[in-house]
Chain A
Amino acid sequence: MTLLAFDWLLIIEKLVLIAIIVFASLGIALYTTFAERKVAAILQDRPGPERAGPFGLFQPFADGLKLIMKEEIIPSSANRNLFILGPGLAMTAALMTCAVIPWGGTVSLFGREISLQIADINIGILYVFGVVSVGIYGMMIGGWASNNKFSLMAALRGASQAISYELAMSIALIALLMTTGSLSLRTIVEQQMALGHLWNIAYQPLGFILFFICAMAECNRTPFDLPEAENELNFGYHQEYSSMKLGFYLFSEYVNMIMSSAVMASLYFGGYDIPFFNESVLPQNIAALVGVGALLIKIVIFIFVFMWIRWTIPRFRYDQLMNLGWKSLIPLALVNMLITGAFILARM
């Protein structure tokens, strides 16, 4: 019986937290699709979707309903199991990242101290990278299982892009980890919240730019959206997909965007820290909620910048993409790492 004698309330607490965070992420992703269309429209002097509901606010539901009502097609020569697994894997990997992101401080409810993070593991950022890499399998499996050469080629394009940019991303991150000395996202955020300590962007500006560019490539956002080049490279790895399976692929991209925004906000922009304000003045619960709001605002700003870039610049050609990744970003990241190391040594 001693096996069962652990804190059962902890499990309930975590389950509630997981449910809230997953549904909140999905809800935000739903409205990110709407925001994408609205931002695109405004940047192009158009009004954008505005017919479904007030200001077009029901547009995402109309889009979702449309996708669900569409005919579900599985090509007869496709590998059926993998074909179904692909979008599921992409979505799962995208959502799993949210487990280690610290969404806020601690709340005290019903006499319990509840930390607003699903799991504070000491290798948090490594976990993020691992899960993101699994997400590439969603793309690869989808492209391969469709039994369509264009899908397969798009999947290969996407996988090689993701692998190239993950390298530069990790090296840029190593420089940051050298200054923080911890892999836990909660610790990294708390360090930035400490008095007299600036946000990491002040210490790692080049590292942030590199990380941001690579994050864009990882999320398959323009100018790096070669895997699904809608208009000229035959749509991409989800060419054979229809109905909600296609919706899952497209939707997982938006979830990825939110998660990478959250990771970037936590790593470089102080996570749930409110700038120029000492949170310890406020009561604990209010401080935690305000912190969640601050993180959400940072995420929204990041998403806007992602969209703003998408509607400004065209796509890279494949050779330009590889040149940029291997010949520019990786050397720059290595130099950044060396400089950071030299500074740390000099301060010791």
Chain B
Amino acid sequence: MEALTNRVKEVSRKPMSFSERLYIPNILKGMAITFSHMFKKQPTIRYPEQKREFSPVFRGLHVLNRDEEGRERCTACGLCAVACPAEAITMEAAERLPGEEHLYREEKYAAKYEINMLRCIFCGLCEEACPKDAIYLSETFAPANFTRKGFIYGKDELVIPNQLIDPAGFAEARGAARNN
């Protein structure tokens, strides 16, 4: 039969040579290999203290963005929820009242905005759908929780800290890629 690729490797059925039957020379060879590994650099990243560097396009947990004056950008248009293939996003809209202009950028805002992190597949389609640049996927990852309920992230977890009040928290939530 003709081989489909030239990568076929014939299995050798020849009997073991004397030195192979002794085992010991080959065992010593193997031990030399393992010994040389003692001096190799470890690729380990000691996780909570050290973190792996992500590429700029990494998609982690979601962040609800604010504009330059610290107002929420989201207008609860629902395009992200429509775009979401995993149906992880729900929201309720509300009308901005007089005197709330410093909180919300436009007349309509999201009173409730929830993302179920167990459903989310981190595809980033919500980010692409958003016309107001209000949602994006950050560099934070590995959400951990004790209950399923805890994985439904509300506005308190999603909205980025106000850069005018808490600049450090804002920079952290924004992620290194966007800060530079």
Taking beta carbons and an 8 Å cutoff, which residues of A are in contact with B? 42-47, 209, 308-309, 311-313, 324
Contact = CB atoms under 8 A, between A and B. Distances in A.
Contact of B38 (A43, A209, A313): A43
A308 B42 contact: no
A309 B43 contact: no
B37 A309 contact: no
B34 A311 contact: yes
Interface of B: 23-24, 27, 30-31, 33-35, 37-38, 40-44, 46
Contacts of B34: 43, 308, 311-312
A46 B38 contact: no
Nearest to A305: B31
A312 B43 CA distance: 20
A43 B37 contact: yes
30 contacts: A42-B37, A43-B34, A43-B35, A43-B37, A43-B38, A44-B37, A45-B37, A45-B40, A45-B41, A45-B42, A45-B43, A46-B42, A46-B44, A47-B42, A47-B44, A47-B46, A209-B24, A308-B31, A308-B34, A309-B27, A309-B31, A311-B34, A312-B27, A312-B30, A312-B31, A312-B33, A312-B34, A313-B27, A313-B30, A324-B23
Contact of B35 (A45, A308, A324): A308
A347 to B, nearest CB: 29
Contacts of A312: 27, 30-31, 33-34
Nearest to A41: B42
Contacts of B44: 46-47
Nearest to B33: A312
Contacts of B33: 312
A46 B30 CA distance: 19
Nearest to A316: B23
Given A43-B37, A312-B27, A312-B30, 16 more contacts: A42-B37, A43-B34, A43-B38, A44-B37, A45-B37, A45-B41, A46-B42, A47-B44, A209-B24, A308-B31, A308-B34, A308-B35, A309-B27, A309-B31, A311-B34, A324-B23
A206 B31 CA distance: 20
Contacts of B30: 312-313
Nearest to B31: A312
| 6 smallest beta-carbon distances between A and B, as pairs | A312-B34, A43-B34, A312-B30, A312-B31, A45-B40, A47-B44
Contacts of A209: 24
A313 B33 CA distance: 11
A44 B37 CA distance: 7
Contacts of A311: 34
Contacts of A42: 37-38
A42 B38 CA distance: 5
Nearest to A309: B31
Contacts of B46: 47
Contacts of A308: 31, 34-35
B138 to A, nearest CB: 28
A216 to B, nearest CB: 11
A209 B44 CA distance: 37
Contacts of A313: 27, 30
Nearest to A47: B44
A311 B35 CA distance: 10
Contacts of A46: 42, 44
Contacts of A324: 23
Nearest to B24: A209
